[in-house]
């Protein structure tokens, strides 16, 4: 009897608690079957788009670094190939990828990393037995976009969409050539938009999708349910090497803008302010009236920002009429504008909002090639700044500063001095090196023979150059 009273009391208490909570319930839904005799299919929607996605085969010659000591007659006997042939010092590296035909006369958009450094690029078009030799029109490592061209007429060209109109949850299809097995289509949805700080490219505004993107899909098409191009498949986040449901595509609007400049000018020019910026942290939001924007943490000398009077601590909240939400937003917005364009920056300084006008400059080159000794660097060197993308790709710790040696021309002064690809130049004489511009300054500052300090796989070495 006592147990029964306890149960009744518990039910009464629970009922009284529930009575005061108003949950919103969805109306009852009816489960339906597809119409009898009909199959749901997107075949017609993606049929044309599939014909526009090509297979790309890129080959490049890779030099084998054989230590000089191995050329000694004593060691050579251990490295002789059959019939007296020496071990080859050069090998051909091949890679597969995908691309999207965007014009009837054969212009193709793909990823920069698909054709980067390629000596020969070949393309096969769906339904065409011919193998086309492609010309590299231009590459842009900052966005990982490249344009190649094949000769011919009336190629199937994909229809371009508008990536600014996309919504999370939209149905999408990734079309490409994964693992080199031939044309393949995978389905998914848009998981997120505007993804940045991924550390893949310098300029990032990715479409994230769970449509399976696997090796070989790079450079292929991400299309909507109409078969219209909305993105270029670029990368995945994975531990196994296969798709784990987190894939990234470059928005078609960005790809189209970059491709247009590569076709018309052979290069891409980015607007340049000359500031170092950071996001608003929770603590920083307490000292600004605006709760979104990019904080200026440093202003470089003799840059557009310095000439316009920008100061450390300024919070940039608008570029013209475009709101700025964070640091990546500012970088992408300024980068999309042409050098020489005048823009109005709305900034918060000391809790007051003001507008300053800036004439954008041209983004400094992050790569420097020297073909002769009069270029201010060692003949035969190709140098690159250590940006976030390169650090992530090569596993270079953040505490190592310097400039990456990304290429050494055979039989050049750089090769004779002992430089190797992968070296990091950290100091020249007494000058610490932080970017490619520092290398030029140091080479001009010091006359005669100069000591160049490099970090080679964690070991510090000294090379001497003229």
| Cα dist from 324 to 20, 316, 368, whole Å | 43, 7, 32
Residues 443-452: contacts with CB within 8 Å, 24+ apart?
443/376, 443/377, 443/378, 444/376, 452/378, 452/417, 452/425, 452/427, 452/428
Return the DSSP state at 11.
H
Catalytic-role residue among 218, 346, 366, 406: 218
Q: What angle do CA 121, 125, 129 make, to 5 degrees?
A: 100
CA–CA separation, 10 and 277 (whole Å): 59
CA–CA separation, 49 and 228 (whole Å): 7
CA–CA separation, 461 and 420 (whole Å): 12
Query: What are the residue ranges of helices labelled H in 53-145?
Result: 73-79, 112-115
**Please, are residues 96 and 55 in contact by the beta-carbon 8 Å criterion?**
yes
Q: Is 144 a catalytic residue?
A: yes
Cβ-proximal residues to 293 (8 Å cutoff; 6+ apart), any chain: 280, 315, 316, 317, 324, 325, 326, 330, 348
Residue 175: name the closest of 50, 43, 42 by CA: 50
| Cα dist from 18 to 11, 12, 14, 24, whole Å | 11, 10, 6, 13
CA–CA separation, 382 and 377 (whole Å): 9
Catalytic-role residue among 140, 144, 423, 438: 144
> At residue 154, what are phi and psi to the nearest 5 degrees?
60, 40
CA–CA separation, 362 and 395 (whole Å): 29
Cβ-proximal residues to 225 (8 Å cutoff; 6+ apart), any chain: 42, 45, 170, 171, 172, 173
Handedness of CA 236, 48, 259, 271 (dihedral sign): negative
**Please, are residues 277 and 303 in contact by the beta-carbon 8 Å criterion?**
no
Catalytic-role residue among 50, 113, 140, 186: 113
Task: Give buried/exposed letters for 92-117 (b at 16+ CB in 10 A, else e).
Answer: eeebbbbbbbbeeebbbbbbbbbbee
CA–CA separation, 84 and 427 (whole Å): 43
Catalytic residues: 113, 144, 218
């Amino acid at each position: 009897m006592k147990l029964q009273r306890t149960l009744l009391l518990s039910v009464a208490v629970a009922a009284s608690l529930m009575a005061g909570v108003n949950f919103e319930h969805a109306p009852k839904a009816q489960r339906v079957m597809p119409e009898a005799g009909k199959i749901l299919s997107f075949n017609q929607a993606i049929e044309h788009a599939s014909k526009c996605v090509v297979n790309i085969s890129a080959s490049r010659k890779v030099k084998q670094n054989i230590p000089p000591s191995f050329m000694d007659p004593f060691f050579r006997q251990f490295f002789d190939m059959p019939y007296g042939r020496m071990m080859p010092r050069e090998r051909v590296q091949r890679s597969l990828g995908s691309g999207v035909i965007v014009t009837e006369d054969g212009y193709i958009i793909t990823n920069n990393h698909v054709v980067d450094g390629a000596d020969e690029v070949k393309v096969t078009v769906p339904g065409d037995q011919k193998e086309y030799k492609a010309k590299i029109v231009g590459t842009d490592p900052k966005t990982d976009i490249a344009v190649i061209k094949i000769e011919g007429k009336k190629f199937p060209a994909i229809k371009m969409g508008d990536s600014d109109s996309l919504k999370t949850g939209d149905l999408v299809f990734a079309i490409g050539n994964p693992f080199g097995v031939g044309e393949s289509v995978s389905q998914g949805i848009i998981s997120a938009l505007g993804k940045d700080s991924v550390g893949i490219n310098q300029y990032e505004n990715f479409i994230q999708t769970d449509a399976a993107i696997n090796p070989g899909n790079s450079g292929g098409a991400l299309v909507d349910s109409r078969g219209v191009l909305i993105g270029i498949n670029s990368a995945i986040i994975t531990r196994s090497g296969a798709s784990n449901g987190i894939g990234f595509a470059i928005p078609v609007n960005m790809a189209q803008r970059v491709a247009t400049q590569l076709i018309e000018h052979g290069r891409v020019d980015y607007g340049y302010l000359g500031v170092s910026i950071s996001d608003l942290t929770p603590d920083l939001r307490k000292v600004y009236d605006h709760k979104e924007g990019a904080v200026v943490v440093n202003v470089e000398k003799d840059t557009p920002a310095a000439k316009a009077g920008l100061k450390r601590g300024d919070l940039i909240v608008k570029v013209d009429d475009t709101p700025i939400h964070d640091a990546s937003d500012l970088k992408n917005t300024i980068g999309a504008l042409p050098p020489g364009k005048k823009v109005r920056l709305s900034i918060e300084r000391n809790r007051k909002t003001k507008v300053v006008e800036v004439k954008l400059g041209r983004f400094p080159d992050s790569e420097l090639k020297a073909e002769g000794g009069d270029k201010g660097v060692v003949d035969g060197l190709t140098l690159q700044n250590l940006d976030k993308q390169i650090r992530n790709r090569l596993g270079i710790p953040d505490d190592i500063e310097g400039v990456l040696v990304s290429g050494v021309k055979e039989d050049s002064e750089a090769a004779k001095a002992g430089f190797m690809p992968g070296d990091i130049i950290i100091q020249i004489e007494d000058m610490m090196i932080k970017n490619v511009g520092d290398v030029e300054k140091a080479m001009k500052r010091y006359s005669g023979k100069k000591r160049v300090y490099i970090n080679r796989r964690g070991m510090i070495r000294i090379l001497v150059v003229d």
